[in-house]
Amino acid sequence: MALLTIRNLTVRFGTSTGSFTAVDGIDVHVDKGEVLAIVGESGSGKSVSMLAAMGLLPDTATVTADEMTFDGRDLLSMTPRQRRQIIGREITMIFQEPIASLNPSFTAGYQIEEVLRLNAGLSRKAARARAIDLFEQVGLPDPEGKLKSYPHQMSGGQSQRVMIAMAIATNPRLLIADEPTTALDVTIQKQILDLLMELQQETGMALILITHDMGVVAETADRVQVQYKGKKMEEADVLSLFENPQNPYTRALLSALPENATGDRLSTVASFLEHEAQP
Amino acid sequence: MSVVVEGRNLIRDYHIAGSLMRPAKTVHAVKGISFAVERGKTLAIVGESGSGKSTLARIVALIDQATGGELLIEGKPVDIGKTRPTREMRSKVQIVFQNPYGSLNPRQKIGDVLMEPLFLNTDTPAPERRDRAREMLVKVGLPAEHFNRYPHMFSGGQRQRIAIARALMLNPTLLVLDEPVSALDLSVQAQVLNLLADLQEEFNLAYVFISHDLSVVRYIADDVLVMNQGEAVEQGSREAVFADPQHPYTRELFAATPVTDLDAIRARVARRQAMRAAAGG
């Protein structure tokens, strides 16, 4: 059952030197309860395509698509007001820099209660109680005390837990996580990934994980989509992708992993890139 | 095999001045670490943020002084707090930093970046400085014509090559590499790691390689030192540490590192399918 379907998405940015195509005819689809990983290096358009779906790109971006539907509803023809009923409620997002994602001037409690009042329609009192529950659910120590903490008083891992609590506050059906663990240490990364997978299994929400880390893909995804320079290179279930990659770029990427080194030098993506550079 | 750098019980404390509301305190960033690196070998120092690994790197690179213990470069004790290191000593130890966007001066041409170490530390005449800078550009895989370009004209991987070239200008015997590939994309990371391996072979360099990425460490290191909260919790050859980690922290670190092993993926996919079937039924 398709939850989010995007067909032929193109995103162009107008710049002083002409237009730049960041996403070039990408298809994305996620089923209910599925974990999709979108993998790519910098400049692959992996974040931009999801920001486009969320409607979070600046005015300089031109977004076109043949189809963009969420649970059968057309996101393209919707009024902004209707769209806001979905974005932030049924589809939520977390970002790479947890400390930068939170407002430094307000307590964690204020920020999550704001989400609960505006997007879940709870009263102040109910929001407070639900916030404590959510903090408990994401494994924050001393949930009541944390409501009164400012972002600078929390570690990176704790801030990301607060962000996750805010993102699941409205019981979304799709959570988009954009490099959620890139800024974190590996032991904290494991905790956060475990938490996301646990929540996914408990709630049955779909999860789109944007990452550059093949290890993270191997440990979380059901299905994987590989992007390079705004184009989709390959799409496969996680085991097939690692076992038998079809696309030359995917193969190059996998053999560039230090753990896959054969002999005393790594194979690089360079040979593929040179091949690509020729028109 | 000659030992290039040796640390004996190195200690670094930071004193944080108190204020009206807060008493002064001392942070023990490095708590007595000993190690030795031979010519042509790589010691990897692994740890998470706050483990003290970069503090240790700065001590070895003669940027910061140690609060206690002894640092020997090619057998000679060096204490930058007591005596200014000679130009020869400075030339022996060079450092490459994590972020090539921050470690190059945006207003300095690449040629000047490379010639500056020679200008400051040697009496090499200008024409020779220029020639050696051009040669070094080629060595690190960049065309000599890039001599007159500015840093903003290069990608992250190219900039890291320039930072490596700068570090090699003085023919050092020891290179301190502080997370040199963690800001780079996977494909570029592989190229820079290969370059480092080539250069190590060519110049018989000793590397102190700081990293948090165990897969990179496993690829590049001869010896491994695992740091946690300023202490060396585990130290040994790469084979020994990876085959049979002794300390609980090392094991935790290994367990937390994501693996792309096919059997592991197969097992996880099977687990998920079983869970789905149970939930559906």
Range of the domain at B151: 40-66+84-280
Q: Domain for residue B15, yes or no?
A: no
Q: Are A41 and B185 within 8 A, CB to CB?
A: yes
Give residue B210's pLDDT.
95
Q: Cβ–Cβ of B187/A187 closer than 8 Å?
A: no
The dihedral through the CA atoms of A208, B157, B98, A150 has a sign that is negative
Kindly report, residue by residue over A38-89, the tens digit of the pLDDT.
999 888 999 999 999 998 899 889 999 999 999 999 999 999 899 989 999 9
Q: What percent of chain A stands above pLDDT 90?
A: 75
Q: Which of B222, B231, B269, B276 is nearest to B249 (CA)?
A: B231
Question: Which chain A residue has its CA at the smallest distance from B257's CA?
Answer: A186
* A269 with B264: Cβ contact below 8 A: no
CATH of the domain at B248: 3.40.50.300
- Rounded to the nearest integer, the mean pLDDT of chain B is 92
In a domain, residue B115? The reply is: yes
The C-alpha atoms of residue B267 and residue B280 are separated, in whole angstroms, by: 20
pLDDT of residue A16: 83
pTM: 0.88
Q: Which CATH class is domain A2-247?
A: alpha beta
Put simply, the chain A residues between 66 and 95 with a CB less than 8 A from any chain B CB are none
Does a structural domain hold residue B206? yes
**Which has more pLDDT, A261 or A82?**
A82
Total domains, chain B: 1
> Do the domain assignments include residue B76?
no
Residue B79 falls inside a structural domain: no
Lowest mean pLDDT among A211-225, B178-192, B201-215, B222-236: B178-192
- Domain locations along chain A: 2-247
Instruction: Flag whether B2 is in a domain.
Output: no
Interface contacts (A, B; CB < 8 Å) = 106
Asked whether the predicted pLDDT for residue A278 surpasses 60, the reply is no
Radius of gyration of chain A (CA): 20
Q: Is A268 on the interface with B (CB under 8 A)?
A: yes
Domain assignment of residue B202, yes or no:
yes
Cα–Cα distance between B28 and B13 in angstroms, integer? 4
Q: Is residue B92 part of a domain?
A: yes
What is the distance, to the nearest Å, from the Cα of residue B110 to the centroid of all Cα atoms in its chain? Answer: 22
Measuring CA to CA, which residue among B207, B121, B142, B133 is closest to residue B169? Answer: B133
Q: What pLDDT is recorded for position A271? A: 58
